[in-house]
Structure 1
Amino acid sequence: MPLGPFTLVAIYLTAWWIVLFMILPIGMNSQVDEPPTDGSQWGAPKNPNLKKKFITTTWVSAIVWAVIVGVIWAGIIPVPEIDPARLPAL
């Protein structure tokens, strides 16, 4: 297995953040063109649905993670072996 547990978690977290930024703008509507009276900004959405977007991000990024790990395990994208004996001393 070319990937350790730390690498698998790092790939998932990276995929999660990328998918989050892809999902955040979906379904966003600005407030009405009238000035907001509740102290919010003009461009702030009335209902951002963050819980729904976080749940969607989690399962979509799990699918993306599975595809990435499958591609690496299949050998389509090779992961170079790192020989600790050849690393420079710190």
Structure 2
Amino acid sequence: MRWTSMLAIYILFWSFSVFLVLPFGVKTSAEAGAEHVPGTAESSPHEFSLKKVVVRTTIVATLLYALFMANYEFGWVNTQTLDYADAANAV
């Protein structure tokens, strides 16, 4: 696989991991014990740390990407293992 393809796949894993990581560790103003700011939603986060989100996302994306590349290299899961309609593979 070319390095450009590998980079593109990693970027996809990273962008999907952002949405996986965002809800974790978020506290609302009520949960943090702070006063609610008028004009914001009750469920809005009390404070947001972009650095924490980027670090967590990078860790999760790197682990998922490593699993993907290991599967690509060793072929643990392939199209034949996922083809349940194939009568030849039926047990």
> What percentage of aligned pairs have identical amino acids?
25
Amino acid at match of 2:70: G
Q: How does 1:7-22 map to 2 (within 5 A)?
A: 7-22=5-20
Answer yes or no: is 1:75 the counterpart of 2:62: no
User: Bigger relative contact order, structure 1 or 2, given CA contacts below 8 A and separation 6+?
Assistant: 1
More helix by share: 2
Counterpart of 1:25 in structure 2 is 23
- CA-based RMSD: 2.4
TM-score of the superposed pair, with normalisation by structure 1: 0.67
Output one character per residue of 1:35-76: Cα deviation in whole Å (capped at 9) or x when no partner.
Answer: 515x65543211122211211111221111111011011123
* Matches of 1:56 and 1:70, distance apart in 2: 21
Change (3 A) 1:35 1:47: closer
TM-score of the superposed pair, with normalisation by structure 2: 0.67
Q: How does 1:52-67 map to 2 (within 5 A)?
A: 52-67=52-67
* Matches of 2:62 and 2:69, distance apart in 1: 10
Unaligned runs of 5+ in 2: 80-91
Unaligned runs of 5+ in 1: 80-90
The number of aligned residues is 76
* Matches of 1:4 and 1:77, distance apart in 2: 21
